[in-house]
Structure 1
Amino acid sequence: MEEIQSTYYGAYYEPLKELEQEVLGWLSELVDGLSDRQGERPVEHIRSRIKSADGMREKLARKDLPQDAETAVGAISDIIGFRLVTHFVGDVYELVKSMKADGRYFVVKEKDYIASPKPNGYRSYHVIIECPFPPAAKGTIRVEIQLRTIAMDCWASLEHEMRYKKNINNAALIEKELKRCAGEMASTDLSMQTLRDMIREPGKGGKS
């Protein structure tokens, strides 16, 4: 896999790996800052990846673009992707607020699929940031950060498997049930957030 990635991205590959680690470090700092304010770590885990060569070629083909690395670096905003999985919905919004306030990277685009889910029930918060990247023609590159709760992440993993697996029996029924589960999980997420807020409300037995 590493060799295939290196061959496809060529001279861009090592700088992409360096940027991946740089942004991971930045995200960890933001999480640590929120941890200090809350008294507990709000993120279950952070993951990252450089888009696979096959995945990038497919995406470029869908956009009717040349399938070379130079085009990928200049035109695709999730060439590097990051995912933060939180315990509560409120932590997603607090982290997004921290990203925008920090100022190290410029937030160029946001999509709140938590407040406005996709038709299939998908929920997540997507943030596109612009980072310095001297190897690129314009000297910058865009990467994507997805933030979601544990429940949203569990749902998205199952939906992803459903979408890419072939010859699934009862596909229509499964899609319907997935959408129903998405609504139930979203309701549970909001209820858990409300309960946490009540517990932490001063004078109610929570943290003052």
Structure 2
Amino acid sequence: MDVRDWGTFLLPYEQTVEELKVKFKTMRAELKKREEYAPIEFVTGRVKKISSILDKAKRLGVAMEDLETGIEDIAGIRIMCQFVEDIRRVAEYIRGRKDLTVLYEKDYITNYKESGYRSFHMIIEYPVQTAVGQKKVLAEIQIRTLAMNFWATIEHSLNYKYRDKLPGEMKERLKIAAEAAFVLDNEMSSIREEILESQKTFEDDSNLVSKTLGAIHQLYFYHLISEAIDAQRRFNEIWESRNLSAMKDLLDEVKGLLRSAKKGEDMETTDGL
């Protein structure tokens, strides 16, 4: 009977998951700033439940004293991408990192499972600094599209319900659904450039609106009350017509007012010295 302290045993895995989530989210933010597009859509992570660890150990014939080396996905990170092409790119970024070691990879996209499961797995070794020193932890990184993840989540739930003994009809329906998800991914890839262009336009427009409202708000700071009220009125009219060219002109005008106000404030400060 296993009498280990599971709370203590899982601590390094919990730390691994939290640190890797932060690092990959930071990678996403940096890529977005550098290239205006990040292949990472979002990142999640989890530590395997004790019951799942025990089930997997039994299934694989892993002894309790060998869990740290025998079960490679106690710590799990999932990276979601919009397009299949992004998966290879993210994997390449991970291979190039110096803060972890990729031990091996499992390509279930090219060589998808008989069930229809598709995903790209990387087994890594990650060094965590614990209170009692450094510990190298095995973790699994899964990289997949949103469509692949939707299918895998449903399949996992059904397998849990049926204790990995899915009825034949259910298996066939899941295979058909997996093919449909694959077709969806291919269709999205075929219009990838149009999708990215639309997303960039939407983001640029959103930023323009935010910048304009922020600039109008600053007018109140310089006591330009009538100017702020007038700018807000014009903003409302422009927003109704979705005239983004006029929005840019308004932003430039408000920035001009702010520059003049700031210049006047600096001159008053200089005169008072």
Q: Report TM bin, short chain.
A: 0.7 to 0.9
CA distance in 2 between counterparts of 1:12 and 1:37 reads 39
CA distance in 1 between counterparts of 2:72 and 2:172 reads 31
Q: Which has the higher helix share?
A: 2
When structure 1 is superposed on structure 2, of 18-27 and 152-161 the one drifting more is 18-27
Specify which structure has the bigger relative contact order, considering alpha-carbon pairs within 8 angstroms and separated by 6 or more residues: 1
Q: CA deviation at 1:99?
A: 0.5
| Contact 1:32 1:41 survives alignment (8 Å) | yes
Residues 154-183 of structure 1, C-alpha deviation per residue, up to 9 Å, x if partnerless? 11111112212139xx93222112112211
Q: Of the candidates 162, 176, 180, which is equivalent to residue 180 of structure 1?
A: 176
- 1:60-71 aligned at under 5 Å gives the runs 60-67=57-64, 70-71=65-66
Question: Relative to 1, partners in 2 of residues 1:199 and 1:12: Cα closer, same or farther, differing over 3 Å?
Answer: closer
CA distance in 2 between counterparts of 1:74 and 1:133 reads 16
SS in 2 for 1:114: coil
CA distance in 2 between counterparts of 1:111 and 1:142 reads 15
Question: Relative to 1, partners in 2 of residues 1:98 and 1:57: Cα closer, same or farther, differing over 3 Å?
Answer: same
SS in 1 for 2:125: strand
Normalising by structure 2, report the TM-score. 0.62
SS in 2 for 1:131: strand
Question: Relative to 1, partners in 2 of residues 1:200 and 1:82: Cα closer, same or farther, differing over 3 Å?
Answer: closer
Question: Relative to 1, partners in 2 of residues 1:177 and 1:37: Cα closer, same or farther, differing over 3 Å?
Answer: farther
Aligned to 2:6: 9
Aligned to 1:4: none
Please identify the structure whose Cα radius of gyration is greater: 2
Question: Relative to 1, partners in 2 of residues 1:10 and 1:160: Cα closer, same or farther, differing over 3 Å?
Answer: closer
**Quick one: which amino acid aligns to residue 154 of structure 1?**
F
Question: Relative to 1, partners in 2 of residues 1:38 and 1:161: Cα closer, same or farther, differing over 3 Å?
Answer: same
**Quick one: which amino acid aligns to residue 151 of structure 1?**
A
Answering whether residue 55 of structure 2 is matched by residue 58 of structure 1, we say yes
Residues 95-129 of structure 1, C-alpha deviation per residue, up to 9 Å, x if partnerless? 11111112221111111111111111100010111
Structure 1 gap segments, 5+ residues each: 1-6, 202-208
Structure 2 gap segments, 5+ residues each: 198-273
